[in-house]
Amino acid sequence: MDYEKKYKKSTIMQKWFSNNRFSVALLNILLFFLVIWMFNKISFILNPAKVFVSAILPPLLLALIQFYIMNPLVDFLERKFKVPRIATIIGLFALVTVLLIWIVNTLLPIVQGQIDSLIKHWPSIWKDATMVVQNTLNDPHLNSVRNDLNDALTRAQNMIFKSGRNTIDTAMNNISSAISIVTIIFMTVLTAPFILFFMLKDAHHLRPYITQFAPYRWQKSFSQLLYDINTALASYIRGQITVAFWVGVMFAIGYSMVGLEYGIALAVLSAFLNLIPYFGTFIAFVPAIVIAIMMSMPMVIKVLIVFVIEQTIESRIISPLVMGNKMAMHPVTTILLLIGSSAVWGLWGVIFGIPIYAILKIITMRVYNYYRKVSQVFEEDESTSLSSFNQQKVKK
Protein backbone atom coordinates (compact mmCIF):
# COMPACT_ATOMS: atom_id res chain seq x y z
CA MET A 1 0.00 0.00 0.00
CA ASP A 2 2.78 2.40 0.96
CA TYR A 3 4.57 1.46 -2.22
CA GLU A 4 1.49 2.24 -4.32
CA LYS A 5 1.08 5.65 -2.61
CA LYS A 6 4.74 6.40 -3.11
CA TYR A 7 4.55 5.31 -6.73
CA LYS A 8 1.41 7.36 -7.31
CA LYS A 9 2.96 10.40 -5.66
CA SER A 10 6.09 9.98 -7.72
CA THR A 11 4.03 9.68 -10.86
CA ILE A 12 2.09 12.88 -10.11
CA MET A 13 5.35 14.72 -9.39
CA GLN A 14 6.82 13.59 -12.68
CA LYS A 15 3.61 14.35 -14.56
CA TRP A 16 3.10 17.89 -13.26
CA PHE A 17 6.67 19.04 -12.80
CA SER A 18 9.70 17.08 -13.95
CA ASN A 19 8.16 15.72 -17.15
CA ASN A 20 5.88 18.66 -17.88
CA ARG A 21 7.08 20.86 -20.74
CA PHE A 22 5.36 23.98 -19.46
CA SER A 23 6.89 23.64 -15.98
CA VAL A 24 10.34 22.89 -17.39
CA ALA A 25 10.11 25.88 -19.72
CA LEU A 26 9.11 28.19 -16.86
CA LEU A 27 11.95 26.85 -14.73
CA ASN A 28 14.48 27.45 -17.52
CA ILE A 29 13.19 30.99 -18.04
CA LEU A 30 13.42 31.63 -14.29
CA LEU A 31 17.01 30.37 -14.21
CA PHE A 32 17.89 32.48 -17.25
CA PHE A 33 16.68 35.71 -15.65
CA LEU A 34 18.27 34.70 -12.35
CA VAL A 35 21.64 34.45 -14.09
CA ILE A 36 21.10 37.89 -15.70
CA TRP A 37 20.20 39.34 -12.29
CA MET A 38 23.35 37.87 -10.74
CA PHE A 39 25.54 39.27 -13.52
CA ASN A 40 23.90 42.67 -13.02
CA LYS A 41 24.74 42.56 -9.31
CA ILE A 42 28.42 41.87 -9.99
CA SER A 43 28.70 44.27 -12.95
CA PHE A 44 31.55 46.11 -11.19
CA ILE A 45 33.62 42.95 -11.50
CA LEU A 46 32.77 42.53 -15.19
CA ASN A 47 33.53 46.16 -16.18
CA PRO A 48 37.25 45.46 -16.80
CA ALA A 49 36.28 42.52 -18.99
CA LYS A 50 33.86 44.79 -20.89
CA VAL A 51 36.59 47.38 -21.47
CA PHE A 52 38.99 44.65 -22.58
CA VAL A 53 36.50 43.18 -25.07
CA SER A 54 35.57 46.61 -26.45
CA ALA A 55 39.27 47.30 -27.06
CA ILE A 56 40.04 44.08 -28.96
CA LEU A 57 36.71 43.79 -30.78
CA PRO A 58 37.25 46.35 -33.62
CA PRO A 59 40.52 44.86 -34.98
CA LEU A 60 39.16 41.35 -34.45
CA LEU A 61 35.99 42.09 -36.43
CA LEU A 62 37.93 43.78 -39.22
CA ALA A 63 40.33 40.83 -39.43
CA LEU A 64 37.41 38.36 -39.33
CA ILE A 65 35.65 40.07 -42.25
CA GLN A 66 38.84 40.04 -44.31
CA PHE A 67 39.49 36.43 -43.30
CA TYR A 68 36.14 35.25 -44.70
CA ILE A 69 36.88 37.06 -47.96
CA MET A 70 40.45 35.79 -48.44
CA ASN A 71 40.36 32.31 -46.91
CA PRO A 72 38.44 30.57 -49.74
CA LEU A 73 41.15 31.58 -52.22
CA VAL A 74 43.93 30.48 -49.85
CA ASP A 75 42.23 27.10 -49.31
CA PHE A 76 41.57 26.65 -53.03
CA LEU A 77 45.17 27.32 -54.09
CA GLU A 78 46.51 25.08 -51.33
CA ARG A 79 44.13 22.23 -52.16
CA LYS A 80 44.17 22.46 -55.97
CA PHE A 81 47.71 23.60 -56.82
CA LYS A 82 49.60 22.82 -53.58
CA VAL A 83 50.56 26.47 -53.16
CA PRO A 84 51.88 27.12 -49.63
CA ARG A 85 49.50 29.16 -47.51
CA ILE A 86 52.24 31.65 -46.59
CA ALA A 87 52.92 32.42 -50.26
CA THR A 88 49.24 32.99 -51.04
CA ILE A 89 48.79 35.17 -47.95
CA ILE A 90 51.78 37.34 -48.82
CA GLY A 91 50.51 37.67 -52.40
CA LEU A 92 47.04 38.69 -51.18
CA PHE A 93 48.51 41.24 -48.77
CA ALA A 94 50.58 42.73 -51.61
CA LEU A 95 47.50 42.84 -53.87
CA VAL A 96 45.42 44.54 -51.17
CA THR A 97 48.22 47.07 -50.58
CA VAL A 98 48.34 47.94 -54.28
CA LEU A 99 44.54 48.19 -54.38
CA LEU A 100 44.49 50.51 -51.35
CA ILE A 101 47.16 52.72 -52.91
CA TRP A 102 45.08 52.95 -56.10
CA ILE A 103 41.94 53.78 -54.14
CA VAL A 104 43.71 56.48 -52.11
CA ASN A 105 45.32 58.05 -55.17
CA THR A 106 42.50 57.67 -57.72
CA LEU A 107 39.06 56.88 -56.35
CA LEU A 108 39.23 58.55 -52.94
CA PRO A 109 39.89 62.09 -54.24
CA ILE A 110 36.91 61.83 -56.60
CA VAL A 111 34.57 60.53 -53.89
CA GLN A 112 35.89 63.02 -51.32
CA GLY A 113 35.47 65.94 -53.73
CA GLN A 114 31.90 64.93 -54.57
CA ILE A 115 31.01 64.39 -50.90
CA ASP A 116 32.46 67.80 -49.91
CA SER A 117 30.56 69.48 -52.74
CA LEU A 118 27.37 67.61 -51.86
CA ILE A 119 27.58 68.63 -48.19
CA LYS A 120 28.32 72.25 -49.18
CA HIS A 121 25.47 72.53 -51.66
CA TRP A 122 22.93 70.26 -49.92
CA PRO A 123 20.87 73.14 -48.39
CA SER A 124 20.43 74.78 -51.80
CA ILE A 125 19.76 71.39 -53.41
CA TRP A 126 17.05 70.66 -50.86
CA LYS A 127 15.58 74.14 -51.31
CA ASP A 128 15.48 73.81 -55.11
CA ALA A 129 13.97 70.32 -54.87
CA THR A 130 11.34 71.61 -52.44
CA MET A 131 10.45 74.44 -54.83
CA VAL A 132 10.12 71.99 -57.72
CA VAL A 133 7.79 69.79 -55.66
CA GLN A 134 5.73 72.78 -54.53
CA ASN A 135 5.41 74.04 -58.12
CA THR A 136 4.26 70.58 -59.11
CA LEU A 137 1.71 70.60 -56.31
CA ASN A 138 0.20 73.80 -57.72
CA ASP A 139 -1.21 71.73 -60.54
CA PRO A 140 -5.05 71.98 -60.36
CA HIS A 141 -5.33 68.22 -60.72
CA LEU A 142 -3.69 67.80 -57.31
CA ASN A 143 -6.03 70.03 -55.34
CA SER A 144 -7.51 67.11 -53.42
CA VAL A 145 -4.17 65.89 -52.09
CA ARG A 146 -2.17 69.14 -51.99
CA ASN A 147 -2.56 69.71 -48.25
CA ASP A 148 -1.55 66.15 -47.37
CA LEU A 149 1.53 66.32 -49.61
CA ASN A 150 2.54 69.71 -48.21
CA ASP A 151 2.25 68.38 -44.67
CA ALA A 152 4.32 65.32 -45.54
CA LEU A 153 6.97 67.48 -47.20
CA THR A 154 7.14 69.82 -44.18
CA ARG A 155 7.47 66.89 -41.78
CA ALA A 156 10.24 65.34 -43.86
CA GLN A 157 12.11 68.66 -44.02
CA ASN A 158 11.81 69.22 -40.27
CA MET A 159 12.92 65.65 -39.55
CA ILE A 160 16.00 65.98 -41.76
CA PHE A 161 17.07 69.30 -40.28
CA LYS A 162 16.37 68.10 -36.74
CA SER A 163 18.46 64.98 -37.31
CA GLY A 164 21.25 67.11 -38.72
CA ARG A 165 21.20 69.45 -35.73
CA ASN A 166 21.17 66.53 -33.31
CA THR A 167 24.13 64.94 -35.08
CA ILE A 168 26.12 68.19 -34.98
CA ASP A 169 25.27 68.78 -31.32
CA THR A 170 26.28 65.25 -30.41
CA ALA A 171 29.55 65.59 -32.29
CA MET A 172 30.31 68.91 -30.57
CA ASN A 173 29.44 67.51 -27.14
CA ASN A 174 31.68 64.50 -27.71
CA ILE A 175 34.56 66.41 -29.26
CA SER A 176 36.65 65.57 -26.19
CA SER A 177 36.50 61.89 -27.12
CA ALA A 178 37.83 62.51 -30.63
CA ILE A 179 41.36 61.58 -29.56
CA SER A 180 40.22 58.21 -28.23
CA ILE A 181 38.25 57.53 -31.43
CA VAL A 182 41.30 58.33 -33.56
CA THR A 183 43.39 56.08 -31.32
CA ILE A 184 40.92 53.21 -31.72
CA ILE A 185 40.91 53.61 -35.51
CA PHE A 186 44.71 53.78 -35.63
CA MET A 187 45.12 50.69 -33.44
CA THR A 188 42.49 48.81 -35.44
CA VAL A 189 44.19 49.52 -38.77
CA LEU A 190 47.60 48.72 -37.28
CA THR A 191 46.77 45.44 -35.55
CA ALA A 192 44.11 43.93 -37.84
CA PRO A 193 46.62 42.82 -40.54
CA PHE A 194 48.66 40.87 -37.97
CA ILE A 195 45.56 39.16 -36.62
CA LEU A 196 44.42 38.42 -40.18
CA PHE A 197 47.80 36.92 -41.10
CA PHE A 198 47.75 34.37 -38.28
CA MET A 199 44.05 33.62 -38.80
CA LEU A 200 44.74 32.76 -42.45
CA LYS A 201 47.93 30.86 -41.59
CA ASP A 202 46.38 28.70 -38.86
CA ALA A 203 42.81 28.46 -40.16
CA HIS A 204 42.79 24.64 -40.19
CA HIS A 205 44.05 24.37 -36.63
CA LEU A 206 41.66 26.81 -35.00
CA ARG A 207 38.59 24.56 -34.71
CA PRO A 208 40.48 21.51 -33.34
CA TYR A 209 42.28 23.78 -30.87
CA ILE A 210 39.00 25.19 -29.50
CA THR A 211 37.30 21.78 -29.55
CA GLN A 212 39.91 20.18 -27.26
CA PHE A 213 38.69 22.29 -24.32
CA ALA A 214 35.22 20.70 -24.44
CA PRO A 215 34.47 17.47 -22.54
CA TYR A 216 35.49 14.44 -24.53
CA ARG A 217 31.95 13.12 -25.09
CA TRP A 218 30.85 16.54 -26.39
CA GLN A 219 33.81 17.26 -28.63
CA LYS A 220 32.27 15.87 -31.80
CA SER A 221 29.03 17.78 -31.32
CA PHE A 222 30.90 20.94 -30.28
CA SER A 223 33.12 20.74 -33.36
CA GLN A 224 30.02 20.46 -35.56
CA LEU A 225 28.53 23.47 -33.77
CA LEU A 226 31.64 25.54 -34.52
CA TYR A 227 31.52 24.38 -38.14
CA ASP A 228 27.86 25.41 -38.52
CA ILE A 229 28.51 28.84 -36.96
CA ASN A 230 31.56 29.38 -39.16
CA THR A 231 29.61 28.37 -42.28
CA ALA A 232 26.71 30.69 -41.46
CA LEU A 233 28.98 33.68 -40.76
CA ALA A 234 31.09 33.04 -43.85
CA SER A 235 28.05 32.80 -46.11
CA TYR A 236 26.50 35.97 -44.71
CA ILE A 237 29.65 38.13 -44.73
CA ARG A 238 30.83 37.04 -48.18
CA GLY A 239 27.37 37.36 -49.63
CA GLN A 240 26.66 40.81 -48.18
CA ILE A 241 30.01 42.26 -49.23
CA THR A 242 29.79 40.77 -52.73
CA VAL A 243 26.25 42.07 -53.28
CA ALA A 244 27.18 45.50 -51.86
CA PHE A 245 30.19 45.72 -54.21
CA TRP A 246 28.13 44.97 -57.31
CA VAL A 247 25.37 47.35 -56.19
CA GLY A 248 27.96 50.12 -55.98
CA VAL A 249 29.36 49.22 -59.40
CA MET A 250 25.91 49.16 -61.03
CA PHE A 251 24.87 52.49 -59.53
CA ALA A 252 28.22 54.06 -60.47
CA ILE A 253 27.80 52.95 -64.09
CA GLY A 254 24.12 53.91 -64.21
CA TYR A 255 24.48 57.34 -62.61
CA SER A 256 27.50 58.11 -64.81
CA MET A 257 25.60 57.12 -67.96
CA VAL A 258 22.61 59.35 -67.18
CA GLY A 259 24.84 62.23 -66.02
CA LEU A 260 23.62 62.52 -62.43
CA GLU A 261 25.68 64.90 -60.30
CA TYR A 262 27.60 63.35 -57.41
CA GLY A 263 26.94 59.95 -58.99
CA ILE A 264 30.13 58.24 -57.74
CA ALA A 265 29.59 59.43 -54.16
CA LEU A 266 25.96 58.28 -54.26
CA ALA A 267 27.05 54.89 -55.65
CA VAL A 268 29.56 54.44 -52.80
CA LEU A 269 26.84 55.42 -50.31
CA SER A 270 24.49 52.84 -51.86
CA ALA A 271 27.16 50.13 -51.57
CA PHE A 272 27.69 50.80 -47.85
CA LEU A 273 24.00 51.13 -47.03
CA ASN A 274 23.24 47.93 -48.94
CA LEU A 275 24.77 46.11 -45.96
CA ILE A 276 21.42 46.89 -44.30
CA PRO A 277 19.05 44.26 -45.78
CA TYR A 278 15.87 45.44 -47.54
CA PHE A 279 16.12 49.09 -46.47
CA GLY A 280 19.69 50.20 -47.26
CA THR A 281 19.36 50.74 -50.99
CA PHE A 282 16.08 52.63 -50.62
CA ILE A 283 17.62 54.91 -47.97
CA ALA A 284 20.54 55.68 -50.29
CA PHE A 285 18.08 56.34 -53.13
CA VAL A 286 16.54 59.34 -51.29
CA PRO A 287 19.44 61.80 -51.90
CA ALA A 288 19.74 60.56 -55.48
CA ILE A 289 16.10 61.31 -56.27
CA VAL A 290 16.33 64.70 -54.51
CA ILE A 291 19.33 65.69 -56.66
CA ALA A 292 17.52 64.42 -59.76
CA ILE A 293 14.46 66.54 -58.90
CA MET A 294 16.72 69.57 -58.54
CA MET A 295 18.23 68.96 -61.99
CA SER A 296 15.14 68.21 -64.14
CA MET A 297 12.15 65.92 -64.48
CA PRO A 298 13.78 63.94 -67.33
CA MET A 299 16.66 63.24 -64.92
CA VAL A 300 14.14 61.92 -62.37
CA ILE A 301 12.85 59.47 -64.95
CA LYS A 302 16.41 58.40 -65.84
CA VAL A 303 17.32 57.85 -62.18
CA LEU A 304 14.16 55.83 -61.65
CA ILE A 305 15.03 53.68 -64.67
CA VAL A 306 18.56 53.12 -63.27
CA PHE A 307 17.07 52.17 -59.90
CA VAL A 308 14.58 49.72 -61.43
CA ILE A 309 17.28 48.08 -63.58
CA GLU A 310 19.64 47.79 -60.59
CA GLN A 311 16.96 46.30 -58.35
CA THR A 312 15.94 43.83 -61.06
CA ILE A 313 19.51 42.62 -61.64
CA GLU A 314 20.25 42.47 -57.92
CA SER A 315 17.06 40.64 -56.90
CA ARG A 316 16.86 38.28 -59.89
CA ILE A 317 20.53 37.48 -60.56
CA ILE A 318 23.11 38.66 -58.02
CA SER A 319 21.37 38.01 -54.68
CA PRO A 320 20.01 34.53 -55.60
CA LEU A 321 23.38 33.57 -57.09
CA VAL A 322 25.50 34.87 -54.22
CA MET A 323 23.25 34.69 -51.16
CA GLY A 324 20.50 32.21 -52.01
CA ASN A 325 18.72 31.30 -48.78
CA LYS A 326 21.84 30.44 -46.80
CA MET A 327 20.65 32.16 -43.64
CA ALA A 328 17.33 30.24 -43.71
CA MET A 329 15.47 33.33 -42.49
CA HIS A 330 11.99 34.41 -43.50
CA PRO A 331 11.82 38.02 -44.80
CA VAL A 332 9.34 38.93 -42.05
CA THR A 333 11.78 37.63 -39.43
CA THR A 334 14.58 39.68 -40.98
CA ILE A 335 12.52 42.89 -41.03
CA LEU A 336 11.31 42.48 -37.45
CA LEU A 337 14.85 41.67 -36.33
CA LEU A 338 16.21 44.80 -38.02
CA ILE A 339 13.53 46.98 -36.42
CA GLY A 340 14.10 45.53 -32.96
CA SER A 341 17.91 45.50 -33.06
CA SER A 342 18.06 49.05 -34.42
CA ALA A 343 15.78 50.25 -31.61
CA VAL A 344 18.03 48.63 -28.97
CA TRP A 345 21.56 49.05 -30.38
CA GLY A 346 21.15 51.59 -33.18
CA LEU A 347 23.35 51.27 -36.25
CA TRP A 348 25.44 48.45 -34.73
CA GLY A 349 22.25 46.48 -34.17
CA VAL A 350 21.29 46.89 -37.83
CA ILE A 351 24.71 45.71 -39.02
CA PHE A 352 25.31 42.84 -36.58
CA GLY A 353 21.75 41.87 -35.64
CA ILE A 354 21.32 39.22 -38.33
CA PRO A 355 24.64 37.35 -37.87
CA ILE A 356 24.22 37.38 -34.07
CA TYR A 357 20.68 36.03 -34.52
CA ALA A 358 22.02 33.30 -36.82
CA ILE A 359 24.62 32.26 -34.22
CA LEU A 360 22.10 32.22 -31.38
CA LYS A 361 19.66 30.27 -33.55
CA ILE A 362 22.25 27.56 -34.28
CA ILE A 363 23.24 27.29 -30.61
CA THR A 364 19.61 27.23 -29.43
CA MET A 365 18.60 24.53 -31.89
CA ARG A 366 21.55 22.32 -30.94
CA VAL A 367 20.85 22.73 -27.22
CA TYR A 368 17.17 22.01 -27.82
CA ASN A 369 17.91 18.89 -29.86
CA TYR A 370 20.30 17.65 -27.20
CA TYR A 371 17.73 18.30 -24.47
CA ARG A 372 15.07 16.54 -26.54
CA LYS A 373 17.36 13.55 -26.89
CA VAL A 374 18.30 13.14 -23.22
CA SER A 375 15.15 14.41 -21.50
CA GLN A 376 12.15 12.26 -20.61
CA VAL A 377 9.76 15.11 -21.40
CA PHE A 378 9.52 14.11 -25.07
CA GLU A 379 9.52 10.33 -24.59
CA GLU A 380 5.72 10.19 -24.54
CA ASP A 381 5.38 12.01 -27.86
CA GLU A 382 8.09 9.94 -29.50
CA SER A 383 6.54 6.69 -28.30
CA THR A 384 3.13 7.89 -29.50
CA SER A 385 4.54 8.82 -32.90
CA LEU A 386 6.27 5.44 -33.16
CA SER A 387 3.08 3.65 -32.20
CA SER A 388 1.09 5.58 -34.82
CA PHE A 389 3.70 4.79 -37.42
CA ASN A 390 3.55 1.05 -36.58
CA GLN A 391 -0.25 1.06 -36.72
CA GLN A 392 -0.21 2.67 -40.15
CA LYS A 393 2.38 0.15 -41.27
CA VAL A 394 0.21 -2.75 -40.06
CA LYS A 395 -2.84 -1.36 -41.85
CA LYS A 396 -0.90 -1.19 -45.09
DSSP of 191-253: HHHHHHHHHHHTHHHHHHHHHTTS-GGGHHHHHHHHHHHHHHHHHHHHHHHHHHHHHHHHHHH
CA count, 13 A, side-chain hemisphere, 284: 26
The answer to the question of residue 269 being in a domain is yes
The answer to the question of residue 71 being in a domain is no
Sign of CA pseudo-dihedral 137, 140, 141, 146: positive
Contacts 24+ apart (CB under 8 A), 379-386: 380/19
Q: What is the DSSP letter of 276?
A: S
Alpha-carbon distance of 361 to 297, in angstroms, equals 48
CA distances from 35 to 96, 251, 360, 378 (A): 45, 49, 17, 26
pTM exceeding 0.85? no
Looking at residue 125, what is its pLDDT?
78
- Are residues 230 and 207 in contact, defined by beta-carbon separation less than 8 angstroms? yes
Q: Mapping DSSP to helix (H, G, I), strand (E, B) and coil, where does residue 23 land?
A: helix
Neighbouring CB atoms inside 10 A of 93's CB total: 15
The answer to the question of residue 384 being in a domain is no
Is 172's pLDDT higher than 50? no
Q: Mapping DSSP to helix (H, G, I), strand (E, B) and coil, where does residue 259 land?
A: coil
Alpha-carbon distance of 171 to 184, in angstroms, equals 17
Looking at residue 323, what is its pLDDT?
62
The answer to the question of residue 344 being in a domain is yes
- Are residues 358 and 327 in contact, defined by beta-carbon separation less than 8 angstroms? yes
The answer to the question of residue 172 being in a domain is no
What crossing angle do the helices spanning 178-201 and 203-211 adopt, rounded to 10°?
90
| Mean pLDDT, residues 248-261 | 94
- Are residues 142 and 153 in contact, defined by beta-carbon separation less than 8 angstroms? no
- Are residues 260 and 268 in contact, defined by beta-carbon separation less than 8 angstroms? no
Is 389's pLDDT higher than 60? no
HEC letters along 57-75: HHHHHHHHHHHHHHHHHHH
Which position has the higher pLDDT, 170 or 44?
44
User: Which amino acid, one-letter code, is at 374?
Assistant: V
Is 101's pLDDT higher than 90? yes
- Report the percent of the chain where pLDDT is more than 90: 30
| Residue 259 falls in which region: left (phi positive, over 0), alpha (psi -120 to 50) or beta | left
User: Which amino acid, one-letter code, is at 114?
Assistant: Q
- Are residues 278 and 338 in contact, defined by beta-carbon separation less than 8 angstroms? yes
Alpha-carbon distance of 307 to 301, in angstroms, equals 10
- Report the percent of the chain where pLDDT is more than 70: 76
Is 368's pLDDT higher than 90? no
The candidate with the shortest Cα–Cα distance to 266, out of 249, 279, 278, is 249
The answer to the question of residue 314 being in a domain is yes
The candidate with the shortest Cα–Cα distance to 255, out of 193, 215, 310, is 310
Domain count, the chain: 2
- 25-58 pLDDT, tens digit per residue, is 788 888 888 988 888 887 777 788 888 888 888 8
Looking at residue 175, what is its pLDDT?
44
Query: Which residues constitute the domain of residue 14?
Result: 1-41
The answer to the question of residue 12 being in a domain is yes
| Mean pLDDT, residues 73-77 | 95
Q: Mapping DSSP to helix (H, G, I), strand (E, B) and coil, where does residue 278 land?
A: coil
The answer to the question of residue 7 being in a domain is yes
Which position has the higher pLDDT, 380 or 278?
278
Alpha-carbon distance of 29 to 31, in angstroms, equals 5
